[in-house]
């Protein structure tokens, strides 16, 4: 696999905090041909070992998770109320595409924020992102508890 393909595959794999299985599989597949031993520990860390005869050890480490949310509720008008998984920056998330993972498949969408003229006076920055705007080509809102990445 070429570096560019690997980067694309890693970027395309879903991996919100606590649900990194998609990324983990890409990492395992990429490492397997280059290591003598490959294992995943109880915490989900992928460890590839190359046997050698040197007294030195080298560790290459990276994290696999990404910004993610759990759907707390679906409003009557089709917006999703979100609870975060881990930390995030509201200013970066505005207008970002997301994928809602449901038991019935994936749905596309965009993160939205409360418009300035409807915010409380103390929320000048509009830092709270609590809605997900449905893509007009998407199916109706899910009725189960999906996660958003």
Q: Which residues are within 8 A (CB) of 18 and not within 5 positions of it... i.e. 6 or more apart?
A: 65, 68, 85
Q: Give the closest residue to 138 by CA, choosing from 110, 116, 119.
A: 110
Tens digits of residue pLDDT in 52-100: 999 998 888 888 888 888 888 887 777 788 888 887 777 787 778 888 8
pLDDT confidence band for 135 (50 / 70 / 90): very low
Q: Give the closest residue to 120 by CA, choosing from 135, 130, 109.
A: 130
In terms of pTM, does the model score above 0.95?
A: no
Does residue 101 have a pLDDT over 70? yes
**Measured distance CA(119)–CA(141) in Å, rounded:** 25
Rounded mean pLDDT of the chain?
A: 79
Spell out the domain ranges in the chain.
3-49, 68-148
Tens digits of residue pLDDT in 9-23: 999 998 888 889 999
**Which of the following CATH numbers is that of domain 68-148: 3.40.1440.60, 3.20.20.70, 3.40.50.2000, 2.40.30.40?**
2.40.30.40
Identify the pLDDT of residue 76: 79
Identify the pLDDT of residue 131: 45
């Amino acid at each position: 696999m070429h570096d560019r393909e690997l980067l694309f595959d890693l970027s395309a794999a879903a991996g919100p905090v606590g649900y990194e299985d998609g990324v983990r599989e890409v990492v395992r597949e990429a490492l397997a041909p280059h290591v003598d031993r490959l294992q995943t520990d109880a915490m989900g860390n992928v460890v590839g070992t190359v046997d050698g005869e040197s007294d030195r050890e080298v560790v290459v480490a990276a994290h696999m998770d990404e910004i993610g949310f759990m759907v707390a509720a679906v409003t009557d008008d089709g917006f999703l109320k979100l609870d975060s998984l881990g930390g995030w920056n509201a200013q970066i998330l505005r207008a970002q595409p997301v994928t809602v993972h449901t038991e019935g498949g994936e749905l596309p969408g965009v993160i939205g924020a409360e418009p300035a003229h409807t915010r409380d006076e103390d929320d000048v920055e509009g830092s709270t992102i609590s809605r997900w705007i449905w893509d007009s080509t998407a199916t109706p809102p899910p009725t189960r508890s999906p996660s958003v990445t």
